[in-house]
Chain A
Amino acid sequence: MSDVTAVPGAETRPGQPAIFFNGRSSRRRQVTLTLGDALEIADPGDVEAGATITRWAYDEIRRADSPAGILRLTATSAPPLARIEIRDAAVSADLVARCSRLDEHQTTGRGVAKIVGWSLAAAISIVCVVLFGVPLAADRLAPLVPKPIERRIGDASEVQMKTIFGRESCSDPAGQAAFAKLVNRLRDAAGLDDDAMTAGVLPSSVPNAFALPGGKVFVLNALLDKAESPDEIAGILAHELGHLKHHDNMRGLIYNGGTSFLIGLLFGDVTGSSAVIFASRSLVEASYSREAETNADTFAIDIMHKLGRSPKPAAELMFRITGKEGGSGFTILASHPLTEDRLARMTKEDRPASGPPLLTDTEWQALKSICGSGKI
Chain B
Amino acid sequence: MNDMQWAPVGPSEPVPPPLPSTRVDFTGNRTEFRKMVTKGAMLELVTFGFYRFWLVTDIRRHLWSNTAIDGDAAEYTGRAKELLVGFLVALAILVPIYLAYFLVGIEFERWQGFASTPLFISFYAFGQFAIFRARRYRLTRTVWRGVRFWMDGSGWAYSFRAMLWGLLVFLTLGLALPWREASLERYKMRHTYFGDLQGDFEGDGWTFFKRGWWLWLLTPIAVVIFPLAPFLYAEFKAREWRWWLNGIRIGGVSLSSDLPHNAFYGLYWKMVGWWLLLSTLFGLYLGGATMLVVQMSGASAEQVFGPDHAAKSIPLLVMMVIGYFALALAINIIMRVYLQRDLWAKVLETVAVHDIGAAADVRASGELASALGEGFADGLDVAGF
Contact = CB atoms under 8 A, between A and B. Distances in A.
Interface string B47-90: 11111101000000100111010001101110010000000000
A27 B51 CA distance: 37
B335 interface: yes
A140 to B, nearest CB: 18
What 8 pairs between A and B have smallest CB-CB spacing?
A21-B146, A163-B113, A326-B307, A119-B47, A156-B109, A65-B65, A119-B50, A26-B145
B364 A24 contact: yes
Interface string A73-97: 0000000011101000000000000
Given A65-B61, A65-B65, A155-B110, 13 more contacts: A25-B362, A27-B145, A28-B72, A65-B64, A72-B73, A81-B146, A156-B105, A156-B110, A160-B114, A163-B114, A271-B328, A330-B305, A332-B313
B362 A115 contact: no
B48 A159 contact: no
A116 B109 contact: no
B147 A26 contact: yes
A307 to B, nearest CB: 32
Contact of B305 (A164, A265, A276, A329): A329
Interface string A247-262: 0000000000100010
Q: Which residue, B27, B66, B364, has most C-beta atoms of chain A within 10 A?
A: B364
A266 B29 CA distance: 33
A213 to B, nearest CB: 10
A306 interface: no
Contacts of A325: 307
Contacts of A70: 73
6 contacts: A65-B75, A67-B27, A70-B73, A119-B47, A156-B110, A271-B335
A66 interface: yes
Contact of A67 (B46, B68, B308, B335): B68
Nearest to A112: B43
A313 to B, nearest CB: 24
A28 B360 contact: yes
A199 interface: no
A50 B305 CA distance: 85
Contacts of B13: none
Nearest to A21: B146
B359 interface: yes
Nearest to A127: B48
B75 A21 contact: no
B310 A332 contact: yes
A66 B72 CA distance: 10
A119 B52 CA distance: 11
A72 B75 contact: yes
A8 interface: no
A122 interface: yes
B373 interface: no
B40 to A, nearest CB: 10
A330 B317 CA distance: 10
B3 interface: no
Q: What band does the interface of chain B fall in when counting residues whose beta carbon is under 8 Å from A?
A: 35 or more
Contacts, number: 171
B293 interface: no
Nearest to A28: B145
A1 interface: no
A162 interface: yes
Given A271-B331, A272-B331, A25 B113 contact: no
Nearest to A325: B307
A27 B362 CA distance: 7
A82 B146 CA distance: 6
Contacts of B102: 257
Interface in B142-179: 143-148
B64 A27 contact: no
B73 A66 contact: yes
Nearest to B46: A116
B362 A26 contact: yes
Contacts of B317: 332
B75 A273 contact: no
A261 B28 CA distance: 39
Interface string B331-354: 110010000000000000000000
A342 to B, nearest CB: 13
A81 B148 contact: yes
Interface in B104-119: 105-114
Interface string B356-376: 000111111000000000000
Nearest to A111: B54
Contacts of A338: 307
A85 B144 CA distance: 12
A81 B48 contact: no
B91 A265 contact: yes
Interface in B90-136: 91, 95, 98, 102, 105-114
B103 to A, nearest CB: 9
Contacts of B212: none
B378 A269 contact: yes
Contact of A271 (B47, B332, B360, B362): B332
A107 interface: yes
